[in-house]
Amino acid sequence: MKEVLIINLTRMGDLIQTTPTIISLKEQYPDVRITLLVNTAFKEICEYLPHVDRYFHIDKRVVLKMIENNGFIDAYRMVRNVLNRVNDTVYDRVINFTHSRSSAIVTSMIRAKDVRGISIDNKGFTMKRHPWIRYVFNVIPSRYVNPFHLCDMHFKSATRNIPSKKGLHLIVKEEKRKWAEELLRKNGLREGQSLIAFQLGASAEDKRWPVESFARLADILHRKWGSLILLTGSRGEVGFGEEFCRKSNAKTINMMGKTDLTELAALLERADLLVSNDTGPLHVATAVGTKAIDISLASVHFRETGPYGEGHYVISADIPCYPCAFESNCEYLTCKKKITPEAVFNVCELALGKTDRLEPSLFRELQVYRSGFDRDGLMTYRPIIKRKLSLNELFMHLYRYTWQVVLDRKEPTEEADFGDYMDRALSDYEENRDLDETLSEYIEAFSRLQGLVNTLLSVIGVMKRAAQRKEADLEFINKLWENIKPVDKEIEKLGCLYPMIRPIVVMLGYEKESFESSELEDIIKEAEVAYRYALWQAVEIGKMLARLKSSSTHNLTAVGS
């Protein structure tokens, strides 16, 4: 592997979250040249991402404005001019981390031997190239049981290598460190005084913890610890800073709208802790090694985009409607009201080692998670407060193990350590005997799924043998293919009836959409692979559910024996 291009035309935080992929590739292929194609608005950050050899940029804002004014030809020429420079070599691998049709078109215009991510085929159809990329799209309808962080989904689509240097990474120049120290000193930071950074803004109003709550938290930090508060944010968020300063009595350095990326990184590196909504500066802080507390609200799901690194914390409402569905337009945002400044302060104490416990009265409808890397090398968020295991949590762990076998295309055999993994995962929860009846229903449902998939595999086996004959009977094979459709419909119905089966059903659909060959034998082989993995997953989950149900303690924790 000599040449790799990564396309990421989204925001600052998304670019920082490509660093695990970059490091993984560099560890696996030390001589590889890594090129980035990014949005012009965030090109500055490329200078501070480790192991990036060069980058190109497209001004999305200008291109979109041209299109809005019917300047399609001008927009095409502008993009083509950039891509002419990008295409100065043939890439061994192109990886598209921008999951839009426009980026798929751009990807299809790159000279490449291997493509990962969405692209356009020679008939104009969108293709999701790589099992892990297909899984990214599966997250949206199945996020209630998604166990994987977006960083992990991305680097898994790029390479199987688990990076030894884990977490996010951002380079901070020494001159910027000196600048930050001088600025903080001039603004009153004393030796030994704690510096707590706040990120008040977010990409949408519903994802933003109220400024008043941040102000109350600041007053607690100032009163109890004598902390100095540092406000970070963009020019568009300056109003939040002004509101904060009116409502808080804490000593504050307001840097909102006053820093570039390099200055923001240097200031956050100097902070003891960042308390933040889920937005770009959260990822900057984790990338420079500063502990962070993520206040996860509304449709934000921390398992997908939370702080990626060891020892960070997430606080979220422990209520049935969290996270909101996308485009839910919730009128109540109960999650915001549940998360109090007193509860967040208690998490601050935990994060900085000033306590080893959470006050139960503050967290009756809240949950706190600690981030870390599990034995599989992927990000996990372990609950701090031990509560009854929910059905969603149970299946999240069942899928965390089985999806890795399926998406990595490992040999689909029974894995001896599945039980060991479930033992460790479920030890974070209390017994829940209320799940017993539901487990019985799902054992039966997975058995039905196995039967349906076995039927399909039998038909595919006959098709495979027929296609291998010297003169394949295409009419016969076509009739067999028609027999698959009603069984597929039954599988789809099963996914509608049983939400915990739906992820497998949706993934099967994406697999079938992604068959690339036009050769009959190859299409049959691709279908066989997709159904065999679905069968393996259904069998293994069904067996594990049966073990859970028959556990002598009925507490859903003793499953490995």
Helix or strand (DSSP H, E) at 484: helix 474-497
Is 70 exceeded by the pLDDT of residue 82?
yes
Same fold, 3-158 and 177-383: yes
Is pLDDT larger for residue 324 or for residue 227? 227
Q: What is the mean pLDDT of residues 412-437?
A: 86
Domain positions in the chain are 3-158, 177-383, 388-561
Q: How confident is the model at residue 553 (pLDDT cuts 50, 70, 90)?
A: very low
Could you say which architecture CATH assigns to the domain 3-158?
3-Layer(aba) Sandwich (3.40)
- Residue ranges of alpha helices (H) inside 226-340 are 238-247, 261-270, 280-287, 302-305, 334-338
Closest by Cα among 382, 389, 396, 386 to 431 = 389
Segment 288-298 shows an average pLDDT of 96
* Average pLDDT rounded to a whole number, residues 25-37: 97
Mean pLDDT for the stretch of residues 89-116: 96
Confidence (pLDDT) at 554: 42
Work out whether strand 93-96 and strand 3-8 pair parallel, antiparallel, or are unpaired: parallel
75-79 long-range contacts (CB < 8 A, ≥24 apart) are 79/106
Report DSSP letters for 154-193, one per residue: HHHHH-SPPPSS-S------HHHHHHHHHHHHHTTPPTT-
**560: confidence class by pLDDT, cuts 50, 70, 90:** very low
User: Contacts for 201-204 with beta carbons within 8 Å, 24 or more apart?
Assistant: 201/233, 201/234, 201/236, 201/237, 201/240, 201/277, 201/279, 202/277, 202/278, 202/279, 203/11, 203/279, 204/298
Q: What is the per-residue pLDDT for 412?
A: 66
Could you say which architecture CATH assigns to the domain 177-383?
A: 3-Layer(aba) Sandwich (3.40)
Q: Which residue has the higher pLDDT, 166 or 560?
A: 166
| pLDDT digits 0-9 by tens, 357-395 | 999 999 999 999 999 999 999 999 999 999 999 999 999
The yes-or-no verdict on residue 555 having pLDDT over 80 is no
Q: What are the angstrom distances between the C-alpha of 541 and each of 96, 272, 304, 450, 534?
A: 32, 43, 23, 11, 11
Q: What mean pLDDT do residues 399-420 have?
A: 86
Asked if omega into 20 is within 30° of 0 (cis), the reply is no
Contacts of 2 (CB under 8 A, 6+ apart): 29, 31, 32, 33, 92
pLDDT digits (tens, 9 = 90+) for 428-465: 999 898 999 999 999 999 999 999 999 999 999 999 99
Q: What is the overall mean pLDDT for the chain?
A: 93
Confidence of residue 561 (pLDDT cuts 50, 70, 90): very low
